[in-house]
Amino acid sequence: TEGEDKPLKYPHMFAASKLMILNKVDLLPYLNFDVKMIAYAKQVNPTIEVIQLSSQNGEGLQQWLDWLKAQER
């Protein structure tokens, strides 16, 4: 919740990343946070994959597990 500007503030970290996990998305309706962070991350790194994850309701969990398994190959 520190801000959606992190990809622009720390571009080297996002440019070097293959995956960005946006966690706790079940809280989005209650927070002052804009998911334009995803657009900022893709601006810095057009090939970055993004998974929106909620451990509360399981959203995105299978996608993350599939991504991890694919990295083993």
Instruction: Convert 4-30 to b/e letters by CB count within 10 Å (16 or more is b).
Output: bebbeeeeeebeebeebbbeebeeeee
- How confident is residue 24, by pLDDT bands cut at 50, 70 and 90? confident
Per-residue pLDDT tens over the stretch 27-49: 877 777 777 889 999 999 999 99
State the average pLDDT over residues 14-27.
Answer: 90
Q: pLDDT exceeding 90 applies to what percent of the chain?
A: 60
At 5 the pLDDT is 86
| Pairwise pLDDT comparison (34 vs 56), residue with the higher score | 56
Distance in angstroms (rounded) separating the CA atoms of residues 39 and 42: 5
17 token code pair: 């990343």
Q: Are the beta carbons of 31 and 61 closer than 8 angstroms?
A: no
pLDDT at 67 over 90: yes
Distance in angstroms (rounded) separating the CA atoms of residues 68 and 20: 13
